[in-house]
Structure 1
Amino acid sequence: MTRILMVCLGNICRSPLAHGIMESKLSENHFYVDSAGTAAYHVGNAPDKRSIAVAKKHGLDISTQNARQFKVSDFDTFDYIYAMDQSNYKNIVSLARHPNDIEKVKLFLEANTAIQNKNMPDPYYGDESDFEYVYKLANKTCAIIAEGLKH
């Protein structure tokens, strides 16, 4: 089974959306998807209500997810670790124990060659349109990554 982890700062906006979207694009028999945050601000909380709403609008239910903090053992558990932006990438890599850990970490938007800025914007301080933009960007990027994983 291939295991994929989506990581943002608080694990309530970007990574729960990417988690739910990626899960919807891959077979649960062959793939396990989870999400985490590099900070512990929201541990145990459900995703932001705006993330839940935009996911629901697109037919996904992410309301049962709970925020958790990235931990060193995630390097052992997951095959692919996708950071939503450069800051989170650096935070994850700083916890790596050896080069094999670092090899698992990718910047999420690197897979999407149509996007110049490889930092997924954080919609937390924005409005519904910011969450919609993040959803669309995550949906396109998850489709690209999922297609690559299926081959």
Structure 2
Amino acid sequence: MFKKILVVCVGNICRSPTAELLLRNALTTSSITVSSAGLAARVGEGMESSARQVLEDHGHSAADFTARQITSDIVNESDLILVMEKEHVKQVLKIASHARGKVFLLGKWQSEREIQDPYRQGQAAFIHAHALIEDAVSSWAQRLGH
């Protein structure tokens, strides 16, 4: 059973923190912990302002979030690793090749859909990314039994 889920994107300030928060909220009745990290994280930064605004518009707060860099230790501690793009799977496996069986696209249940980075692409891109993340998180939560 999954106890620790890690969500990964590039900077860890837009997509992965959004997915982390939504998945954590979807799994509140379970003992599963959810965290996130970036492949080229903006370490120590909070969420990107547009991503945070879209979350807040949907009734969530990301005030306490801080970006962190993915490490082999973080990969090793995680039971399930959800990434945004197929390229991210390859990059996680470069960090820890033995993680192969536990790295999946967040959009796996939406025909292996990738979720593109909305960074610096305007508010509409963030709204679109949030909708895709919300859809994918809902599918994962159902499959995780919640």
TM-score of the pair, normalised by structure 2: 0.93
Matching of residue 107 in structure 1 with residue 102 in structure 2: no
Residue 75 of structure 1, CA deviation: 2.4
Take 1:15 and 1:54, find their aligned partners in 2: how far apart are those partners?
14
Residue 5 of structure 1, CA deviation: 0.7
Residue 28 of structure 1, CA deviation: 5.8
Take 2:45 and 2:116, find their aligned partners in 1: how far apart are those partners?
21
Q: CA RMSD in A?
A: 1.6
Give SS of 2:59's match.
coil
Take 1:80 and 1:10, find their aligned partners in 2: how far apart are those partners?
19
Residue 118 of structure 1, CA deviation: 2.2
Greater than 4 Å deviation, 4+ residue runs: none
Take 1:27 and 1:79, find their aligned partners in 2: how far apart are those partners?
18
Q: Deviations over 1:42-80 (max 9, x none)?
A: 100001011110000001111211000110012221111
Alignment equivalent of 2:114, drawn from 115, 119, 144: 119
Identity %: 30
Q: How many residues align structurally? A: 145
Give SS of 2:117's match.
coil
Residues 127 and 143 (structure 1 numbering): CA distance in 2 closer, same or farther, change over 3 Å?
same
Matching of residue 143 in structure 1 with residue 143 in structure 2: no
Q: Which moved more, 1:82-91 or 1:7-16?
A: 82-91
Give SS of 1:111's match.
coil
Tell me the residue number matched to 2:65. 65
Residue 97 of structure 1, CA deviation: 4.2
**2:39 alignment partner AA:** T
